[in-house]
Structure 1
């Protein structure tokens, strides 16, 4: 599995015995593992550009598992989290799951159960990174549009029921033929086949947040 080959299990547990044992077991199963004795130690070296997941002990001194989950969310550092705990109960597990954790495993748990969760987390991480890359690419392409092209694109995105060249031209005070030209260039630069695709893409890539150019370039 490509996700497994390219991803790392970041293991955080203050219990040396459990941390070493789990790291060895996962290594034998072919996983790349980096282990840390505390949440603070993990944060000091964490690089969110590296794909993977976080296997996180809930009950640790200092910054506990839920604290770390909250900290990562506030810092907009996205990584799937699998909680392991010998202390947390139902309220803690519910809180963790509501905050987006992949699972909350109570110690002792079967290794096969953890492995299944890790593989699920790797897939979730891969999907998230792919979506982020798609969004980044779309935003970069949108920003490459000329001032007028972006104005036409934004109008069609904001008025999905009014995308005919005649209507767009009337609203923007340009000829339908000019709208056709801009529409063709927009679709070409965005690497899409229709205005419907542009409208769909605008939601996931948040193109409306980019808006029209503010550099004073003439629109005609």
Structure 2
């Protein structure tokens, strides 16, 4: 389980007093913080490999908080954002939440509320990264399958109720014994113990999302 000290709370605010007070309060509670005085400065230093969340001032000169959020979304970044603002309204908060913000807090806010949202954001980011890592590993293993193994794997996953060796063999016009051999290799390479586990892995990692029925179908083995 990821601890809060292993993740970074980025504080992006042009108000030096807010930077200092938030950073000090969070650091004393065991959080790791990193402070930026502008959205542009954060964007230039942003590293997608660093896990954490952003406490982001909505209204800043130059690039606004919402513009930074939009830029991160365009990059495919998933770092959770907690907006803070001194003059935000309903339209602004709706825009931010639609783009995936964790919360939109108006100053002055209670520290307990912010801490609760930070913990939720850090948990969300950690879970998101674990999911992406699992999908990346599954995709790498899938790419090590032969064309025939991929074809059979997709048949097993797409129709588990008809996944017996005889069913698959009938669809591909090959022998059940050949299917047995490929099935064993598929489970071994994907590091799962059963077709049920393969199905579950494919669902949780969206394994076949980009696949298409382009594998050779016929008498080859």
TM above 0.5: yes
Residue aligning to 1:70: 70
In 2, the alpha carbon distance for the partners of 1:168 and 1:2 equals 42
* 2:8–2:53 contact (8 Å) kept in structure 1: yes
* 1:57–1:65 contact (8 Å) kept in structure 2: yes
In 2, the alpha carbon distance for the partners of 1:46 and 1:126 equals 17
Q: Where does the alignment leave 5 or more consecutive residues of structure 1 unmatched?
A: none
* 1:154–1:211 contact (8 Å) kept in structure 2: no
* 1:3–1:123 contact (8 Å) kept in structure 2: no
The residue matched to 1:207 in structure 2 has which SS? coil
Residue deviations 1:126-155 (CA, integer Å, cap 9, x gap): 100111111111111111112221111122
In 2, the alpha carbon distance for the partners of 1:141 and 1:211 equals 17
Aligned length: 218
Residue deviations 1:91-127 (CA, integer Å, cap 9, x gap): 2112212221111111011222211111111111110
TM-align CA RMSD:
2.0
In 1, the alpha carbon distance for the partners of 2:64 and 2:203 equals 36
* 2:135–2:207 contact (8 Å) kept in structure 1: no
* 1:54–1:82 contact (8 Å) kept in structure 2: yes
The residue matched to 2:14 in structure 1 has which SS? coil
**Bigger CA drift: 198-207 or 113-122?**
198-207
Cα distance change, pair 158–8 in 1 and its aligned pair in 2 (3 A): same
Residue aligning to 2:42: 42
TM-score by length of 2: 0.91
The residue matched to 1:56 in structure 2 has which SS? strand
In 1, the alpha carbon distance for the partners of 2:91 and 2:76 equals 24
In 2, the alpha carbon distance for the partners of 1:116 and 1:4 equals 12
Residue aligning to 2:170: 170
Residue aligning to 1:21: 21
Is 1:180–2:180 an aligned residue pair?
Answer: yes
Within-5 A mapping of 1:129-140: 129-140=129-140
In 2, the alpha carbon distance for the partners of 1:2 and 1:150 equals 34
Residue aligning to 1:153: 153
**Bigger CA drift: 15-24 or 30-39?**
15-24
In 2, the alpha carbon distance for the partners of 1:62 and 1:160 equals 55
Residue deviations 1:148-195 (CA, integer Å, cap 9, x gap): 211111222233332111111011111011111111211121122222
Cα distance change, pair 213–145 in 1 and its aligned pair in 2 (3 A): farther
Q: Where does the alignment leave 5 or more consecutive residues of structure 2 unmatched?
A: none
Within-5 A mapping of 1:173-212: 173-208=173-208, 209-211=210-212
TM-score by length of 1: 0.91
